[in-house]
Amino acid sequence: FIKMNTKLNNFEEYLKNTIEDKFISLNRYKAGKPIEEIKREIFKNKKVKILKLASNENLTGVDKTILKQLQKELKNIYYYPDDSLYYLLNELEGFYKIKKENIVVGNGAVELIRYIYQILVKKGDKIFIPHPSFAIYYIDANLFEAQLITYNLMPPDFQIKYEDIKNNLDKIDDPIKLLIICSPNNPTGSIIFKNDLEKVLNYALNRNIIVILDEAYFEFVDNENYHNGLELLKEYPNLIVLRTFSKVFALAGLRIGIAFTNQYISKALNNIRLPFNVNTLAQKATILALKNYNTFVDKIKSIINQKYFLYSKLDQLKKEFNIDYIKTYSNFIAIRVKDANKVFNELLLEGIIVRPASDMNLGDYIRVTISPFKSHNELFIKKFKKVLKKI
């Protein structure tokens, strides 16, 4: 190995004065543990079947038609991606009925969140967010030195309500730069009703607050009072809707997130978008997913069915183990346990990866992905029960 930087000690002083402390002390997002990591670290590479229920992927995997076409596309990866996103934007425009001028595509939605903060948030700006919410909004607030203003969503349903948002915002005279609503919310799985959302958007518009409506889990909602953010765009120029292809569309590994918003904001976001940020296969896969949308309909149904299966199983465990869960509109479920970190670690030893929701500002809970397969969910329940008995 090359021994690095013998002169670092002298230069370090300069770096310490030059690179702000925050860049050194920032905590990165804690991702769900990959299967390979658990194989390596816990099972010492023995042949073990590991079930990952940690990152809300669609465990039916990649559709075969899509897979085959992507395999063909691979031979072209020696060329740069199309930075103009020509075919991708055409497809998005056609599918979502939103003009391409109103669309921004990112290397995952996390890249778009970073860009939104970058064009909007200055040091000291106030960002309002029902708590808990998706961890990235907190992390990027630290990065841009925004002031986060939160209020706690309440058990049992953790629903996001207009009245709560209004009451809390009414107390703040200062301008609010951003209001962030994840619906379905992560990690609670709860939603805001359409009626309430429209009131929030009106309130926000009157106060010049830009609203990020994060609909990453849009497709999993089985509630007729739910919203479709894209339909609200026409009325609300203060609205940015986020979607992702990492969840129902089973493309998390390729990284595709989409923002829909008015032309003024989308222009700014597109201007700071890194060249070639959306890789060749991500562009192709997104097109194929939309062209084959019907193949996802049954998968969504399976996941929703499995949600009710899990409810029934968890209801049986409720009293015996003093646990509870939050009713979810998503493909994950937050389960309250006595010691979330311990349950998480014990489940790892059983080959089941979940998330301790303390990483996501929701202590005492674990967040568990709902598999479309009954066998997966049965296995989870079996192991979960075993762990609960031990604790």
Q: Following DSSP, what letter does each residue of 69-127 receive, concatenated?
A: HHHHHGGGTTSPP-TT-HHHHHHHHHHHT--GGGEEEESSHHHHHHHHHHHH--TT-EE
Distance CA 47, CA 49 (A): 7
In the complex, minimum distance from the CB of residue 26 to its own copies, in angstroms, rounded to a whole number: 4
Residue from 104, 141, 221, 254 binding its own copies (CB under 8 A)? 254
Instruction: Provide CB contacts within 8 A for 281, sequence distance 6+.
Output: 70, 73, 74, 77, 254
Per-residue contact string for residues 209-238; x = within reach of its own copies by CB under 8 A = ---------------------xx-xxxxxx
Residue from 48, 154, 172, 274 binding its own copies (CB under 8 A)? 274
132-151 exposure pattern, b = at least 16 Cβ within 10 A, e = fewer: bbbbbbbbbbebbebebbbe
Applying CB under 8 A, the span of 75-83, 151-159, 304-312, 314-322 interacting with its own copies comes to 75-83
By CB under 8 A, residue 132 contacts its own copies: no
Applying CB under 8 A, the span of 77-85, 148-156, 331-339, 354-362 interacting with its own copies comes to 77-85
In the complex, minimum distance from the CB of residue 73 to its own copies, in angstroms, rounded to a whole number: 9
- Whichever of 26 and 154 has its CB closer to its own copies, that residue is 26
SS3 362: coil
Provide the residue type at 329 as one letter: Y
Task: Report which secondary-structure segment, H or E, holds 250.
Answer: none
Distance CA 231, CA 234 (A): 6
Owner of token pair 């949600």: 307
Residue from 110, 141, 179, 348 binding its own copies (CB under 8 A)? 110
The footprint of its own copies on this chain (CB under 8 A) covers a number of residues equal to 105
By CB under 8 A, residue 280 contacts its own copies: yes
Cα–Cα distance list, 215 to 180, 245, 381 (Å): 11, 11, 28
- Whichever of 5 and 389 has its CB closer to its own copies, that residue is 5
Q: What are phi and psi of 84, to 5 degrees?
A: -85, -10
- Interaction residues for its own copies, span 21-60 (CB under 8 A): 23-29, 31-32, 34-37, 40, 52, 55, 57-60
Residue from 48, 119, 154, 297 binding its own copies (CB under 8 A)? 119
In the complex, minimum distance from the CB of residue 190 to its own copies, in angstroms, rounded to a whole number: 23
By CB under 8 A, residue 276 contacts its own copies: yes
Residue from 48, 65, 99, 322 binding its own copies (CB under 8 A)? 99
By CB under 8 A, residue 148 contacts its own copies: no
Distance CA 133, CA 136 (A): 9
- Whichever of 102 and 183 has its CB closer to its own copies, that residue is 102
- Whichever of 247 and 383 has its CB closer to its own copies, that residue is 247
Q: Following DSSP, what letter does each residue of 6-68 receive, concatenated?
A: TTHHHHHHHHHHHS-HHHHHPPPP-PPPPHHHHHHHTSTT-----EE-SS---TT-S-HHHHH
- Whichever of 61 and 156 has its CB closer to its own copies, that residue is 61
- Whichever of 59 and 314 has its CB closer to its own copies, that residue is 59
Applying CB under 8 A, the span of 106-114, 290-298, 304-312, 363-371 interacting with its own copies comes to 106-114
- Distance separating the N- and C-terminal Cα atoms of the chain: 46
By CB under 8 A, residue 15 contacts its own copies: yes
In terms of DSSP bridges, do strands 365-369 and 332-336 run parallel, antiparallel, or are they unpaired? Answer: antiparallel
Residue from 250, 288, 323, 368 binding its own copies (CB under 8 A)? 250
In this structure, what token pair is assigned to residue 80? 């740069």
171-186 exposure pattern, b = at least 16 Cβ within 10 A, e = fewer: eeeeebbbbbbbbbbb
By CB under 8 A, residue 198 contacts its own copies: no
Residue from 44, 45, 46, 78 binding its own copies (CB under 8 A)? 78
- Whichever of 240 and 323 has its CB closer to its own copies, that residue is 240
Q: Is the dihedral of CA 92, 97, 100, 103 positive or negative?
A: negative
By CB under 8 A, residue 98 contacts its own copies: yes
Residue 112 in contact with residue 106, Cβ under 8 Å? yes
In the complex, minimum distance from the CB of residue 33 to its own copies, in angstroms, rounded to a whole number: 9
